[in-house]
Amino acid sequence: SSGINAEYGKIACHIAEDLESGISSHTTDLLRQILPDRLGHATMIPVDSEDGDFVRRNKIPIECCMTSNVISKTVKSYRDHHFKTWWDLGHPVLLCTDDPGTFNTTLSREYQLAVDSFGLTVEDLKAMNRAAIEWVFDESVKDSLRDII
């Protein structure tokens, strides 16, 4: 990592999740200045945009919170969720819950939604989880997580 990460460590940046502002020059500047290690939501970053190209080139993983995004109306439906677009490109994506109490969901439910909405297989979920271990910020737990999967 470079920029602010070098001074403060790993950074997950919730970004481009607001329908009102969408993607803006502020978002673009923030992406480049911080170069986050992960992006939260990123529902308003089109894959085929300058920012989408930047995210792909830098292989910045996207934390996808399907239920949160549907309830918050930053995506139309589960089937329209941007997770699938990024997944199909082979881009690093993670399924997350984002305030499970508020959105009445669990990680298991988010996985089931991905299976039901996009036809992911058990092997797809395992591959996604194995890859996600590389983006865990706490290096001390990575080996034990690999042993589980």
Do 50 and 28 touch, CB atoms closer than 8 A?
Answer: yes
Residues 6+ apart with CB under 8 A from 124: none
> d(Cα 32, Cα 99) in Å, to the nearest integer?
27
Do 52 and 79 touch, CB atoms closer than 8 A?
Answer: no
Place of tokens 């308003």: 44
Choice among 7, 17, 20, 63 that is catalytic: 17
DSSP H/E element including 64: strand 62-64
Catalytic site includes residue 17: yes
> d(Cα 62, Cα 60) in Å, to the nearest integer?
6
Q: Tell me the catalytic residues.
A: 17
